[in-house]
Amino acid sequence: MTIKYLHTNVEKLVEQQEIQIEGWVVSNRGNEKIRFITINDGSSVSNIQTVIKGQLNIEAQTDKISLGASIKVYGKLHLTPEAKQPFELVVDKLVLLNNVDEDFPIQKKETTLDFLREIPHLRHRTNLFRAVMLIRNSLMFEIHKYFQEHDFMNVAAPIITSNDGEGAGETLLVDDESKDFFFKQKAFLGVTGQLHAEAYAAGFKRVYTFAPTFRAENSHTSRHLAEFWMVEPEVAFYDLKDIIALANDLLKNVISNTLKNYPHEMQYLDGLKDGELLNSLNKFLENDLTVLDYSKAVEMLKEYKDEFEEKNIHFGMDLASEHEKFLSDKLIKGPVAVINYPKELKAFYMHQNDDNQTVAAFDLLVPGIGELIGGSQREARYDKLVNRMKELSIPLESLQWYLDLRRFGYAPSSGFGIGFERLVMYVTGISNIRDVIPFPRVSGSIKM
């Protein structure tokens, strides 16, 4: 039985059968006659307070049980209308499984996030990381659930690939110990599953990937990792408008179900943001998504150029993180889908608009984060695609299979990629991406 279950089923359980709880000690106070041990089992940020009267059936010296120790307790639930907590467990029996050594680094006293990043194998035993990882799990499952309920098929796009996807050049290489081309050619860690997902969309219509992706990012920012998870739906017979509607509906579903299923965790995280987190998320849930042309966005940003480090705001510029955030945080005051970017800023495979200078791309920007989603309608026209690749000097040969999709019953297809950790940041209000993934990977170090 989990503590989360106890909290939602108190009435049913009070004074009923003996309950067994296993977990880790959060606090321990009292004396020989009466002792209060609070326990958490990871199912929730909520704990349960247990009461031990005397030393009945208890082998361990209860006053020596420290924060972090693993224990099992047996007892009955009692309502405590007079006390801070609504109920407590009156213990009949207690088993101490493993106490903690004195150097256990998680203590009551405040610790910094920097310090906790040094111990990723232990930091989840704080309330903050407990909440973040439970929300992360909820978002993960709600994404799968949404897609499955909407007739999407999950595709395992390969991690090891022969091409570097977006041509960004920031790829990691793979080989065996002998460094002798295990795959008989250069092999990369995938930066996207999109091209492979497109092949599967041509046949299964609605597909998605949910898998780790990799970038050899050398920049140490609060928004980048060398290893992160991406969610990439791809839908045949969809155009740009359809796929933006999907992104909007997916996000709203996933977020609103998470708020519903993890109210204690969200309240806890909201408290760390002075109530601004739930406000902002609910505002998104309640409003239509703003869709804005890139050219219009540039016009709007021009009026505020003094706010930015990069003040040369013009059509053709790549929006920097500061511009994206300003647009979403200050001007739109919520998520915004910016569409129709200049083709020079975007990847070769995007649908070329009739104006000959923009592509049917969109970036979804959210407050506090900037880019959360990037997507596009794909170029369905073989000749247009080939010409664009030639313009960009992308070798055709290794992507001939991808081009061929256009010759074999291709249906116009659209898709996007969600940086999953950025979504977790958005929903939890956590400002550093290293704190929303269990074991973050950045250049220069591998911790655990």
Task: Quote the tokens at residue 265.
Answer: 């965790």
Per DSSP bridges, beta strands 336-342 and 290-293 are parallel
Alpha-carbon distance of 347 to 437, in angstroms, equals 28
Alpha-carbon distance of 121 to 123, in angstroms, equals 6
Binding mask 236-275 for a second copy (x = CB under 8 A): xx--------------------------------------
**Can residue 122 be called a binding residue for a second copy (CB under 8 A)?**
yes
Burial class (CB in 10 A: 0-12, 13-18, 19+), 354: exposed
Q: How many CB atoms are located within 10 Å of the residue 92 CB?
A: 16
- Exactly one of 175, 303, 310, 318 binds a second copy (CB under 8 A); that residue is 175
Return the number of the residue (365 or 389) whose C-beta is nearest a second copy.
Answer: 389
Task: Tell me how far CA of residue 27 lies from CA of 12, 65, 102, in angstroms.
Answer: 27, 9, 15
Binding mask 7-36 for a second copy (x = CB under 8 A): ---------------xxxx-----------
Find the shortest distance in angstroms from Cβ 157 to a second copy: 7
**Can residue 177 be called a binding residue for a second copy (CB under 8 A)?**
yes
| Contacts to a second copy from residues 344-373, by CB under 8 A | none
**Can residue 68 be called a binding residue for a second copy (CB under 8 A)?**
yes
| Contacts to a second copy from residues 77-116, by CB under 8 A | 97-101, 103-104
8 Å CB contact between 340 and 360: yes
Alpha-carbon distance of 60 to 63, in angstroms, equals 9
Find the shortest distance in angstroms from Cβ 33 to a second copy: 26
Alpha-carbon distance of 324 to 362, in angstroms, equals 13
8 Å CB contact between 208 and 234: yes
If binding means CB under 8 A, how many residues of this protein chain bind a second copy? 100
Half-sphere exposure of 4 (CA within 13 A, CB side): 13
In the chain, the N- to C-terminal Cα span, in Å, equals 31
**Can residue 74 be called a binding residue for a second copy (CB under 8 A)?**
no
Alpha-carbon distance of 149 to 147, in angstroms, equals 5
- Exactly one of 77, 128, 132, 189 binds a second copy (CB under 8 A); that residue is 189
The residue among 247, 240, 261 whose CA lies nearest residue 150 is 247
- Exactly one of 76, 93, 117, 144 binds a second copy (CB under 8 A); that residue is 144
| Contacts to a second copy from residues 420-439, by CB under 8 A | 437-439
The residues near 435 (Cβ < 8 Å, ≥ 6 apart) are: 113, 116, 117, 129, 132
- Exactly one of 405, 423, 427, 433 binds a second copy (CB under 8 A); that residue is 405
* Residue 352 per-residue DSSP state: B
| Contacts to a second copy from residues 376-395, by CB under 8 A | 380
Which range binds a second copy by CB under 8 A, 107-115, 153-161, 239-247, 350-358? 153-161
> Position 14: which residue type?
V
**Can residue 276 be called a binding residue for a second copy (CB under 8 A)?**
no
Alpha-carbon distance of 211 to 231, in angstroms, equals 7
Return the number of the residue (34 or 97) whose C-beta is nearest a second copy.
Answer: 97
Residue with tokens 């928004």: 223
Task: Quote the tokens at residue 354.
Answer: 């009739």
8 Å CB contact between 310 and 302: no
- Exactly one of 60, 113, 174, 272 binds a second copy (CB under 8 A); that residue is 174
- Exactly one of 6, 50, 75, 130 binds a second copy (CB under 8 A); that residue is 130
**Can residue 179 be called a binding residue for a second copy (CB under 8 A)?**
yes
Which range binds a second copy by CB under 8 A, 6-14, 166-174, 297-305, 363-371? 166-174
Find the shortest distance in angstroms from Cβ 203 to a second copy: 5
Find the shortest distance in angstroms from Cβ 252 to a second copy: 20
Return the number of the residue (74 or 204) whose C-beta is nearest a second copy.
Answer: 204
Which range binds a second copy by CB under 8 A, 86-94, 175-183, 288-296, 310-318? 175-183
Which range binds a second copy by CB under 8 A, 159-167, 262-270, 274-282, 361-369? 159-167
The residue among 447, 445, 448 whose CA lies nearest residue 218 is 445
| Contacts to a second copy from residues 191-220, by CB under 8 A | 196, 199-200, 202-206, 211-212, 214, 216
- Exactly one of 31, 309, 397, 448 binds a second copy (CB under 8 A); that residue is 448
**Can residue 162 be called a binding residue for a second copy (CB under 8 A)?**
yes
